[in-house]
Amino acid sequence: MRQFTVHHDGVTIPVSRGGAGRPLVLCPGLNATQADLRELATLLRRDHDVLTLDLRGHGLASAAGDYSFAGFLDDLAAVLAEVEKPVLVGYSLGADLAAHYAAEHPGAVERLVLVDGAIPVPEPFLTEADLPLFRGMWDEMATEQRARRDTARRVVLTGPEILGLNLEIDAVRSRILGRYREIDRPVSLIASTSMAGAGDDELVVRVNRNWRAGVERLRREQPEVVTSWVEADHGLVFTHATEVARLIAA
């Protein structure tokens, strides 16, 4: 295993690389770090030369003044400049970043695997009525994350920064079908069946229904995208790493 650092635009991005075979870049999502994805990365290293990274403000990466979608996309692009034509795998926000990168850089990746992200949901994830609930939840989450002694898993974004980025992601996903049309590489999507978890709470039911509707919309409008379902919630990369790794390698 080799560790190195990518510096760009005042941001320091730590990268780990190891394994054998075709290069594969694994991009985490919001509130996830490369340390969180260690089990999945280890499984993928059986057949690939895997690079993992921490996005700005996550894990061992430096903090930044900009936590916009464009800022995170710049982090991924800086790491991809270090490797030639990899398989690009993104989880959650990382999937949206991967889709945008591939659309903007024709021929730069071998293929694209999107895990529970970059889904053209018909309705926004966050509604005006839900904002107080999520604002409180993310304030609490941010406090817990910043206090972690294990800096490899620490996230320094504040609750308002997490909320703001999620609102931006909703806007990004409202236009994501246009990005799919610009991608010139094979694309696979791995989606959770119950993104928000189990239960009959109105919010959980609505989010899960919206997520599944987004996947079906993608299948109708971009039938060349190979779609697989995993019986899990949005934490599928942690709870079902073996199955996710198998689908990535398929």
| pTM above threshold 0.95 | yes
Rounded to an integer, the average pLDDT of 125-135 is 90
> Would you call 127 helix, strand, or coil by DSSP?
coil
* Domain extent at residue 162: 2-249
Scan for tokens 């400049």, then name that residue. Answer: 81
Domain count across the chain: 1
Q: What is the pLDDT of residues 95-116, one digit of tens each?
A: 999 999 999 999 999 999 999 9
| DSSP 8-state code for residue 153 | G
Rounded to an integer, the average pLDDT of 179-194 is 98
Q: What is the pLDDT of residues 4-33, one digit of tens each?
A: 999 999 999 999 999 999 999 999 999 999
pLDDT at 148: 79
Q: What is the pLDDT of residues 141-182, one digit of tens each?
A: 999 888 877 789 999 999 999 999 999 999 999 999 999 999
Is pLDDT above 80 for 66? yes
Backbone angles phi, psi at 122, to 5 degrees: -70, -25
Torsion angle of alpha carbons 245, 74, 32, 155, nearest 10°?
Answer: 160
Contact between 115 and 236 (Cβ < 8 Å): yes
pLDDT at 108: 97
Contact between 230 and 193 (Cβ < 8 Å): yes
Scan for tokens 């057949």, then name that residue. Answer: 47
What CATH number has the domain bearing residue 231? 3.40.50.1820
